[in-house]
Structure 1
Amino acid sequence: MTDRVTAIEFEIPQKSGEALCVPPARQLAALARQNAALLEDAPLTIAGVRLAEIRRRARSDISQAAVRYAQRLDLPTSTFGPSELLLVTGHQPFLFHPGIWLKHLLIDRVARDGMAALSMPVDSDAAEDVGADAPRMDGTGLRLVHETLVRADPDVPYEAVPAPPLAEWRAFLARLGAHVRTLPLPEPQAALEHFAQAARDVRAEDIGTFLTGARRRYEGRRRYAEVPVSEMSAGMEFRRFVVHVLRDAERFAAVYNHHLGAYRERSSIRTSAQPFPDLQREEGRQELPFWIIRRGRREPLSVQPTRSGIGLLAGGERVGEIPQASGPEALAGLAIRPRALTLTAFTRLCVADLFVHGVGGGRYDRVTDAVIREYFGIEPPAYAVTTATLHLPLGAYDAARERETLQRRLLELQHNPDRVLSRPTPEQQGLISEKWRLIAALDGGVLARRERREVTARIREINEELSRTLAVQREEVERQLAGLEAGAEATAAAAHRGYPYCFFSPAAVDEIIDRMLAQS
């Protein structure tokens, strides 16, 4: 099954209501069972502990963290035992589009059949601009606007961004509502009002937890658990995973960079930043795919051998040192977080029975597969990929055909005005007759070169004279063409896939899931 997922080129659905799920949704439980058996018997130890034991410990720790997190958010608690099949997904905790939302609601639905489900908000990622896109109709037509709730520096993660004051949150929702009310669309207006009402009592310290709480209240009662990456990273088994990599930094970085390069070559990617940058090595310092959070900002973590162990560096400063043979307890007090590949590698190996990606993650995790095979020496557990497209009912059309028609009409008005004149005057009729006599002479092939030039010039003069009488029509076509160019913004706004989930009802996504589960 891993080979099957790896071989597929995932494509985002283009039509509203369409979904992608590889493998099909009804096969997710069977795939989770297959992965569980693979990982239970895997001959892998991480920092001296068998993988199967790490998984049991990590699952127990994360289940307890889920209870604490639910209590912080005043949500129903969801727990899971170490032996239960566990479906996991995750994403940055912003107001994402329904295609991302689908991952969460799908694992919740599938897990109703004797399994458990977990969402891991990636609050260790950079927050930057936290907001939402909205459609707006005004005197210039339909257009796309963006409203910002919170803005942070590029190196500040969600976990370090304070939750907005209640007045700012309400003002943000009011701005979104004002945009949506410019359109005759009751559904997104009702959805946003429901969301605002459901999220009215959310209280949290950071923006990631705040938006997670808002989403969970809007979804209604669901069974799946939530544990953000910042909480997961504080667990002993994640620290054990980090220690394992720290001890073998050069080899891990070499494997990581090799498979990143191979992926770029296979995918014809020319930029070294995609899907993520190589790990750098300079002056004895080896960068690793982890962040360290200090003073509310995240920095890449590097290591450097010392006489007594391993030095930990960030931002050019020594932030700690651990003995070479130390265990995970040596990292206590350090806020170390995974980057993309180490997050999914740890989650797939040490926590989940099945990890459910979106399209972007499904593509880059092919690198993770290769790293797991070479570095950890086992066959990687398979993952699933799912997404969907939901458009607001704004109406959309392909302006290209209309543009081509108008451009042909303009050329005809300029070069064949006789075909456009419906009621030519006697004078115009005389010019038209002369033009066709001249064309017949050209087609006869008996004119000398100088005569052909003279005839061609005369035809052009006739066209220009006839065209002057069509100036009003020509101006109207030019106006329509200009309107179409301006309408490109409206077309883009109508077809935009990135509107936030709070413009859609949970039932709309549940209906897509119903269809996915009904397919064989």
Structure 2
Amino acid sequence: MIDFARLTTPVGDGDLLLEPPPARWQEVSAANAAAFAGPPSGKRLATFADRRRRTRAALGYKDRTPLIVVGHQPEFMHAGVFAKNIAAASFAGACGGSVLNLVVDNDVPRSPNLRVPVVSGPSVGLVDLPVLPVRAGIPYEHLGRVTSDALTRVVDRTRDLLGEAWPSSLMPLFMSGATKHGADADWVDVMSAGRRNVERALGLELRDLRVRDLPWHDFVGEVLLRHNEFAEMHNAALAEYRRTQGVRGGNRPIPDLTRRGDRIEVPFWLTRPDVPRRRCFARGRESRIELIAEEDILFDIPVAALSPPCDMLQRVFAETGWAIRPRALTLTMWARVFLADVFIHGIGGAKYDRITDPIIQRFFGVAPPAYLCVSATLRLPIPDPPGAPPDLNPPVPTLRELRFNPQRHIHPDAQTSPLLQARAAAVAEAVRLRFDRPRDARARRAAFERIRGAGEALLALRPDVVAAVRAAEASNAESARTREIRLNREYFFALHPRSRIEALARRIDALIRSRADTGSF
């Protein structure tokens, strides 16, 4: 269904990517639902459809209305990511379905800072507002509580930085929702509450599910039970992706699952509070499976306990204080196979799920369900600072160009003409030596030194030219930096004017409901 050649970041401000085109979304949903209506062939997976129904029922989805699933980390997401939520809610409204948003709290944050672009004097700068300290390897779900004082500081500082743009932005709505939890909320709850407050104001209906609360232990049990088989299929699919996409390097786009003797890595994280998350390994021991966090054996469990329903596996984890969490690939695999009628990816996830598809086919024995891809580019209306240089200055020579070719930029006069002539003669001599006496290193070196000496003397005579080039280089660098800040599409979506996000939502909704037959807008 996906045309991967079209999965590129929308370029223009306000541009959208909906792939495949909305005209085919109902077809995708119906085809996926029909594929999972009955059990797939093969005795080993005869209860597959029942497992899918149990998973959905555990979350309260007992009817056959379409379930659209999206997901993202609880971070300051940009408008292109938020567009997935808008599209999911719009499509659910159009097809009579519902939306489940997976809050990916098992990931490790890059930074919990809110980045705000600001105009300061004649330049545009960036201010990072810290909300919560980050510890290496600690996932979102184990970050500390966000205090009321910290949130108040962020509100006050952001209001100051945005100035007149604060009231018209979505920040008041977001922070109003975020602060309602008070001092008892963790980072994930605070960020989710703020986002949901904005979604409600925009008329978007989504239900959140934190990854820590997934009803997915049956899936975990099957992967552990068949860990050797899964690792082989995973690495084969990854190798095929690298080959077809021309990807070099053993860890791109994700690492292989490794073997350490008789220990085989499985695609999960093992976590507990205050400890960096660890890779998970499994080892078969006759009728039991050992679970290992890097080098530490946590427990073993009877093979019989890994067949559905895996209640014992869930209890054992609860007793040890450890938790098992999916990696990105296994999260979308589980969601697409056992939960969603339609899964909506961003561009990166859509591309990388080409690795997931053959694993689904080989491991579960079913055709991988089709998915959608949604993205958008929305840029903040950052005003021009007073006296700022233009975005595109005329080309100027660099200091390097001036040093090696001063004759191109220094006009001859009474002082400079002798040096220009001496330099030209030295260049001619160097060219002659290169052809006539290529092995005469001493003579060629002497000619080079004469060229360099004449150039340095020319620049010493014309410091004004050097100063002008330095100033032009600095101006161009400032223009490039300002342009990069202004064109960045990854600022927090709530920093945007509410009117722009509302316009984006109306546009996406109209395209989906009209079943537009193109995907780039």
- Tell me the TM-score normalized by structure 2: 0.79
Q: In structure 2, which of residues 190, 193, 208 is the aligned counterpart of residue 213 of structure 1?
A: 193
| Cα separation, partners in 2 of 1:325 and 1:109, compared to 1, 3 Å | same
Choose the corresponding residue for 1:306, options 285, 294, 299.
Answer: 285
* Amino acid aligned to 2:115: D
> For 1:312-461, what aligned pairs fall within 5 Å after superposition?
312-326=291-305, 327=307, 328-333=310-315, 334=317, 335-394=323-382, 402-405=393-396, 415=407
Mapped pair 1:495 → 2:474: no
Letter in 2 for 1:371: I
Q: Decide whether aligned partners of structure 1 residues 104 and 385 sit closer, same or farther in structure 2, where only a CA change above 3 A counts.
A: same
Distance 1:20 1:282, change over 3 A: same
- Structure 1 residue 44, shift from structure 2 partner: 5.9
Change (3 A) 1:417 1:497: closer
Q: For residues 43 and 301 of structure 2, what CA distance do their matches in structure 1 show?
A: 17
Give, in angstroms, the shift of residue 465 of structure 1.
9.7
> Structure 1 CA distance, aligned partners of 2:135 and 2:185?
18
Q: In the aligned structure 2, how far is the partner of 1:262 from the partner of 1:23? A: 24
Counterpart of 1:178 in structure 2: which amino acid?
Answer: D
Q: Say whether the 8 Å CA contact 1:16–1:390 is kept in structure 2.
A: yes
Quick check: 10-19 or 145-154, which moved more? 145-154
Give the deviation of 1:307 after TM superposition.
3.3
Equivalents in 2 of 1:489, 1:304: separation in Å? 52
Structure 2 residue 226 is the aligned partner of structure 1 residue 244: no
Deviation, 1:388, is 0.6
Distance 2:246 2:468 in 1: 46
Q: Write the mapping of 1:122-271 to structure 2, written as runs, cut at 5 A.
A: 122-139=104-121, 141-181=123-163, 186=165, 190-203=169-182, 205-219=185-199, 220=201, 221-232=203-214, 235=215, 238-271=216-249
Q: Distance in 1 between matches of 2:298 and 2:231?
A: 20
Which residue does the alignment assign to 1:479? Answer: 471
User: What do residues 447-481 of structure 1 show as CA deviations (whole Å, max 9, x unaligned)?
Assistant: xx9xxxxxxx9xxx9xx99997x875774454233
How far did residue 360 of structure 1 move? 0.9
> What amino acid sits opposite 1:346 in the alignment?
W
**Matched residues in 1 for 2:500 and 2:345: separation?**
21
Distance change >3 Å, CA 466–CA 165, structure 1 → 2: closer
| Amino acid across the alignment from 2:136 | P
Residue 272 of structure 1, CA deviation: 2.3
Which residue does the alignment assign to 1:109?
90
Query: Which stretch shifts more, 138-147 or 38-47?
Result: 38-47
Tell me how far apart the structure 2 counterparts of residues 381 and 162 of structure 1 sit (CA, whole Å): 37
> Does the Cα contact within 8 Å between 2:410 and 2:465 map onto a contact in 1?
no
Partner of 1:515: 507
Q: Deviations over 1:427-447 (max 9, x none)?
A: x8x999x99xx9xxx9xxxxx
Distance 1:280 1:271 in 2: 15
Q: What is the alpha-carbon distance in structure 2 between the residues aligned to residue 199 and residue 216 of structure 1? A: 9
Give, in angstroms, the shift of residue 417 of structure 1. Answer: 7.8
Contact 1:97/1:500, CA 8 A, preserved across alignment? yes
* Contact 2:118/2:162 (8 A) holds in 1: yes
User: How much does 1:47 deviate?
Assistant: 7.8
Mapped contact 2:89–2:206 kept (Cα < 8 A): yes
Asked if residue 20 in structure 1 is aligned to residue 11 in structure 2, the reply is: no
Which residue in the other structure is 2:440 paired with? none
Please report how far the alpha carbon of residue 289 of structure 1 lies from its aligned counterpart in structure 2 after TM superposition. Answer: 0.2
Does residue 54 of the first structure (1) align with residue 35 of the second (2)?
Answer: no
Quote the Cα distance in structure 2 between the aligned partners of 1:264 and 1:62. Answer: 36
Letter in 2 for 1:332: Q
Q: Could you say if the C-alpha distance between residues 415 and 22 of structure 1 is closer, same or farther in structure 2, counting changes exceeding 3 Å?
A: same
AA aligned to 1:217 is N
Q: 2 CA distance for matches of 1:349 and 1:418?
A: 70
Pick aligned residue for 2:259 from 264, 267, 281 = 281
What SS class does the counterpart of residue 303 from structure 1 fall into?
Answer: strand
Q: What is the Cα deviation at residue 266 of structure 1?
A: 2.3
Aligned residues, how many? 468
Deviation, 1:254, is: 0.5
After superposition, the Cα gap between the structure-2 partners of 1:476 and 1:87, relative to the gap in structure 1 and judged at 3 Å, is same
Q: Matched residues in 2 for 1:487 and 1:493: separation?
A: 10
Q: Secondary structure at the match of 2:112?
A: strand
Unaligned runs of 5+ in 1: 64-79, 422-427, 443-448, 450-456
Report how far residue 292 of structure 1 moved: 2.0
CA RMSD of aligned residues (A): 3.7
CA displacement, residues 152-196 of structure 1 (integer Å, 9 cap, x when unaligned): 323211111123101011212333333333xxx626864323432
The whole-number CA distance in structure 1 between the counterparts of 2:127 and 2:394 is 25
Give the Å deviation of 1:279: 0.8
357-366 or 389-398, which deviates more: 389-398
Distance of aligned partners of 1:332 and 1:417 in 2 relative to their CA distance in 1, 3 Å threshold: closer
Counterpart contact for 1:348–1:354, Cα < 8 Å: yes
CA-to-aligned-CA distance 1:291-326 (integer Å, 9 cap, x gap): 222244422221111233111111322222221122
Amino acid at match of 2:255: P
Cα shift readout 1:393-433 (whole Å, capped 9, x = no counterpart): 2268997852515669x97x9657899x9xxxxxx8x999x
Separation (CA, whole Å) in 1 of partners of 2:67 and 2:488: 33
Aligned counterpart, 2:436: none
Rounded to whole Å, the distance in 2 between the matches of 1:278 and 1:310 is 21
CA distance in 2, matches of 1:149, 1:46: 53
Of stretches 27-36 and 100-109 in structure 1, the one that deviates more from structure 2 is 27-36
